[in-house]
């Protein structure tokens, strides 16, 4: 995951299409600006999880550590190069812009797997409809996580996140993938210095359930989408604003470069 400005403009940037220069590369830059520079229908699949804007909270858990609830949490200071604390309306507008670009970039048989987290704000459920409304959501996948802790006595412990499956009309799953249910249980990634990493197994499930050959992750973070794509002999394009996270991704990719790939 990474963060960018909602108002970044890249109209002067020449449109680019995937080629040997950017396939299997992670581009350091503003995710929205880079996507705007890419040609229409140039990728098969988008798999991503944006920053959740957790520090813009009605509680005190993720703001500045008041009360000590999250003193050891990785996100207490936000992400590298993004504080994860945008005004909500600005955040929702930015994410709708990002989804619009993702949808433009996928082919007629493409799909977006957009992972987000529902929250309770000011005592009411925030289900992200202000972000995803109007996009062609075909299904919602529940990613059930194990464990967790809840300091709020007003609601039960949240144990899942959602993955919106936003599809163009010709999208189909790979052969046999429709036997998977819509509730997936995967442990959170523990051995990763990024504050909010994807589990590799979760992304492997998504990619292997499609026939996609070029996968885009515009919030690449520590490189999990790239790692999963490489393990499955697929190609990836990553966008990440943080050089620190890109270095971490390169280190992870280097570790698997000599391992046998799945057929």
Q: What is the mean pLDDT of residues 53-60?
A: 71
Give yes or no for residue 124 having a pLDDT over 60.
yes
> Does residue 220 form part of some domain?
yes
Domain region containing 185: 25-53+88-256
Tell me which of 7-11, 205-209, 214-218, 253-257 is least confident. 7-11
State percent of the chain over pLDDT 70: 76
Name the domain count of the chain: 1
> Does residue 79 form part of some domain?
no
Which residues, 6+ apart, have CB-to-CB distance to 242 below 8 Å? 2, 79, 80, 81, 82
What gap in Å lies between CA 15 and CA 40, rounded to an integer? 9
pLDDT digits (tens, 9 = 90+) for 6-17: 333 334 345 655
> Does residue 160 form part of some domain?
yes
CB 33 within 8 A of CB 8: yes
Question: Looking at residue 104, which CATH number applies to its domain?
Answer: 3.40.50.150
Residue 196: its pLDDT value, please? 56
What gap in Å lies between CA 59 and CA 126, rounded to an integer? 14
> Does residue 74 form part of some domain?
no
Residue 219: its pLDDT value, please? 97
Tell me which of 36-45, 89-98, 115-124, 221-230 is least confident. 115-124
> Does residue 229 form part of some domain?
yes
pTM of the model: 0.82
Compute the C-alpha angle 169/24/176, nearest 5°. 40
> Does residue 221 form part of some domain?
yes
Residue 11: its pLDDT value, please? 43
> Does residue 191 form part of some domain?
yes
> Does residue 243 form part of some domain?
yes
């Amino acid at each position: 995951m990474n963060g960018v400005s909602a108002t970044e403009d890249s109209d002067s940037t020449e449109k680019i299409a995937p080629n040997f220069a950017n396939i299997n590369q992670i581009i350091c830059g503003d995710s929205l600006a880079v996507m705007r520079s890419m040609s229409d229908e140039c990728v098969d699949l988008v798999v991503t999880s944006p920053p959740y804007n957790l520090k813009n909270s009605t509680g005190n858990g993720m703001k500045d550590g008041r009360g000590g609830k999250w003193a050891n949490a990785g996100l207490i200071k936000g992400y590298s190069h993004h504080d994860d604390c945008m005004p909500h309306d600005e955040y929702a507008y930015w994410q709708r812009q990002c989804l619009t670009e993702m949808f433009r970039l996928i082919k007629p048989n493409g799909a977006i797997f957009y992972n987000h987290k529902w929250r309770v704000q000011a005592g009411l459920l925030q289900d992200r409809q202000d972000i995803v409304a109007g996009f062609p959501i075909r299904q919602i996948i529940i990613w059930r996580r194990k464990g967790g802790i809840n300091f709020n006595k007003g609601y039960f412990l949240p144990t899942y996140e959602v993955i919106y499956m936003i599809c163009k009309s010709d999208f189909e799953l790979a052969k046999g993938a429709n036997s998977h249910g819509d509730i997936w249980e995967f442990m959170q990634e523990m051995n990763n210095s990024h504050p909010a990493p994807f589990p590799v197994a979760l992304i492997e499930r998504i990619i292997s359930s499609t026939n996609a050959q070029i996968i885009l992750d515009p919030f690449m973070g520590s490189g999990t989408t790239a790692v999963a794509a490489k393990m499955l002999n697929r190609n990836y394009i990553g966008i990440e604003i943080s050089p620190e996270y890109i270095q971490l991704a390169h280190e992870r990719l280097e570790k698997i470069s000599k391992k046998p790939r799945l057929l």
